[in-house]
Amino acid sequence: MLDNGKITANQYKMLVLLFTIGSSILVAPTALVNDAKQDAWIATIFTVIISILLVLMYIKIYSIFPNMTLVEICELLLGKWIGKFAVALFLMYAFILSGELLREIGDFTTTQMMPDTPIDAIHIVFMGVVVMATLLGLEVIGRSSEIISLWLFILLAIYFIAILPQIKIGNLQPILGEGMKPILFGFYHFISLPYLELIVFLMIAPFVNHQKGAEKGFLVGVIIGGILLTFVVMFSILVLGVENTARQIYPSYALARKIEIGKFFQRVEVIMAGIWFLSIFYKLTISFYAFVLGLSQLFKIKDYRSITLPISMMLIVYAIAFHPNIVHFFEFVHNIWPLYSLTIGFLFPLILLGTALMKKRQRHVRGNR
């Protein structure tokens, strides 16, 4: 164990919740509405239900090895060489995920708020806070999430209540007018971002001080996060309408722009942007932490803190290098990421689980002789 910190089950639940809403709360409605039109909310509910099964799989792996991170489990189950190779593949996933998240917040800020600021400046400042959080350790991340999530919920509540007067129920019609195929297409995109990305939490899980609490917290966090995302998608359709949501790059921001209560509570979209800054921050911190921790376990060094700063330099470079422009970013996230996530977030843990259960049975059989 390279981190002596422990987090409580409640903090774990908060982190899962924040990770789930992550960047999806800002951009998810677009892809979903493009796929499933006005039935996008049905796609989200369907995905949330399936995600429970997915998370149960993750929990099962955790329950077999409650004190080992995913990297350690992998090396144990798959042997030295295949294990290290698989770990490298997983770590590349975590690295790319972190880079995408950093790029997302940079693009959002330069598109909507500060177009003249070079995107690197935003990346460096944001990464600065992420690195600080990582260096301070999981305990700090966990404790801060409890405080921050309170503010986040207050802002979200204000967001939803303020936009409520402007909904048009007719926008949801015709319900199931497009059939099941578009809903399944929406599900395919939605499960890859954020749900399959939750595999990185198997790096964090062993540090929770209460095993049953961690298992329960994982599930509850994912479900509540899913419900919040469903609300965002539904409100986008109800207020903006199908065509307008599908066109927006940042639909939640366009939605926040519509808030107008009386003549004074208006033009508050930047305050709502605070929600997304916070949620993306936590998703990035957790992905980054998982990557750095995993890397230090792969190389068997004593403290992950030593390599954190150099890794952050690499991440800042790659956040830009991954995609030359926002269209390339979209195409990758829309077409390639679902398949990549399926490989790392579903196939990989499935193989691990299968191997673990097989080895258990072998041991059982051997033990009975």
Partner 1 sequence: MWNIIGILFVSACIFIIEALLLLKHKLWKDFIVFIIFLFLGTGLSIARCINFPIPNPIELLTWIYQPLSESVNKIFQ
Partner 2 sequence: MNKRLTSLLFILASIMLLAGCWDRRELNDIAIVSALGIDKVDDELLVTIQVINPGQVATVKQGGITKAPVRTFQSKARTLSEAMRKVTTFSPRAVYSSHLRMLIIGEDLAKEGMGEIIDYVVRGKEFRTDFYLSIAKNTRAENILKVLSQLETIPAHKLSSSLKLSEKSWGPIETIEINQFVNELVYKGIEPHVIGVEIIGNPEAGEKIENVEKTKADAYLKFGSVAIMRKDKLVDWLTEKESNGLHYALGKVQRAVINVPCKEKKVAIETIRTNSKIQTKVDGHQFKGTIQLHIDGSVAEVQCERMDLEKIETINLLQKKAEEKVKKDILTAIQASQKKYEVDIFGFGEALHRSHPSIWHKVKKDWHSHFKDIPVHVDVDVKLRRIGTINNSPLHEMKP
Residues that bind partner 1 (CB under 8 A): 35, 92, 96, 181-182, 184-185, 188, 296, 299-303, 306-307, 309-314, 316-318, 320-323, 332, 335-336, 338-340
- Given a contact cutoff of 8 angstroms between Cβ atoms, the answer to whether 47 and 226 are in contact is yes
Residue 185 interaction partner, one of partner 2, partner 1, none, beta carbon < 5-8 Å per kind: partner 1
Q: Which is nearer to partner 2, 93 or 126 (CB)?
A: 126
- Given a contact cutoff of 8 angstroms between Cβ atoms, the answer to whether 127 and 280 are in contact is no
Q: How far is the CB of 52 from partner 1 (least distance, A)?
A: 24
Residue 339 interaction partner, one of partner 2, partner 1, none, beta carbon < 5-8 Å per kind: partner 1
Residue 325 interaction partner, one of partner 1, partner 2, none, beta carbon < 5-8 Å per kind: none
Q: How far is CA 98 from CA 104, 138, 206, 289, 293, in A?
A: 10, 17, 21, 9, 13
Q: Which is nearer to partner 2, 116 or 364 (CB)?
A: 116
Partners of 260 in the β-ladder:
266
Q: Report the alpha-carbon angle 356-216-93, nearest 5.
A: 55
Q: Which two tokens stand for residue 144?
A: 């801060």
Residue 247 interaction partner, one of partner 2, partner 1, none, beta carbon < 5-8 Å per kind: partner 2
Q: Which is nearer to partner 1, 1 or 92 (CB)?
A: 92
Q: Which is nearer to partner 2, 90 or 250 (CB)?
A: 250
Residue 301 interaction partner, one of partner 1, partner 2, none, beta carbon < 5-8 Å per kind: partner 1
Partners of 265 in the β-ladder:
261
DSSP string, 296-325: HHHTT-S-THHHHHHHHHHHHHHHHHS-SS
Q: Which residue ranges make up the site for partner 2 (CB under 8 A)?
A: 111-118, 121, 125, 170, 173-174, 177-178, 240-241, 243-244, 247, 254, 257-258, 260, 266-267
Give the integer Cα–Cα distance in Å for 73 and 78.
Answer: 8
* End-to-end Cα spacing for the chain: 34
Q: How far is the CB of 246 from partner 2 (least distance, A)?
A: 10
